[in-house]
Amino acid sequence: MDTALKGSIWHQFGAAIDTLHDAINLCPDDLWAAALWKDPDDAKYGQFWFIAYHTLFWTDLYLLGDYKGFAPPPPFKRGVLPENPYTKDQIRAYLGACRSKCQATLEGLTDEQANRVCTFDWIEASYLEMQLYSLRHVQEHAAQLNLMLGQHDVSGMDWIPQAREVMSNE
């Protein structure tokens, strides 16, 4: 796969991940479990910490491209919510793992892998398109978290034009 294209995708995907990272870091402790919205299925689903976790879970899954064999790293459990919110340190560690996995995956992406079909209940797309879909998902939730922070007078959010870390072949 074209190196320049892979680099461009990483620059933007990495920027989205960095935006999420900043929102997590800027979140004061008293907002960590605050709700952005009310969720009828479980109140935790609308909380800051869960939205950050949810974003990383799906990023991780989409990087694999298939439910089969997928499990998030400990202490996270697929399909099980913890009794208490995950900590910032746990979420930051997961974010770091997802960032590294994303960067390495994009660096090594071949045409054959990029064209592999990924099928989920709501979408069927090439692996490459799934990564663009995932990038949009990360950016959406990072923006929601940043909006909440701004509404609570937290400052420090800024536009990130490209990933802070470059690919090894750049």
Q: Kindly give, in sequence order, each residue whose CB lies less than 8 Å from that of residue 160, ignoring residues fewer than 6 positions away.
A: 15, 18, 19, 22
Residue 169 is predicted with a pLDDT of 72
Report whether 75 contacts 86 (CB < 8 A): yes
Overall CATH class of domain 3-151? mainly alpha
The sign of the dihedral angle between the CA atoms of 99, 23, 79, 41 is: negative
| pLDDT of 168 above 80 | no
Percentage helix, strand, coil for the chain under 3-state DSSP, each rounded to 5 = 60, 5, 35
Average pLDDT over residues 8-32: 98
Q: If residue 119 lies in a helix (H) or strand (E), which one and from where to where? A: strand 117-120
Query: Apex CA 155: angle with CA 82 and CA 56, to 5°?
Result: 30
The one-letter amino acid at 91? I
The mean of the pLDDT values for the chain is 96
The whole model's pTM is what?
0.96
Report whether 138 contacts 16 (CB < 8 A): yes
> DSSP characters for 18-71?
HHHHHHHHH--GGGTT-BSS--SS-GGGGBHHHHHHHHHHHHHHHHHTSSTT--
The 10s digit of each residue's pLDDT in 57-110 is 999 999 999 999 999 999 999 999 999 999 999 999 999 999 999 999 999 999
Q: Please report which confidence band the pLDDT of residue 170 belongs to, taking 50, 70 and 90 as the band edges.
A: low
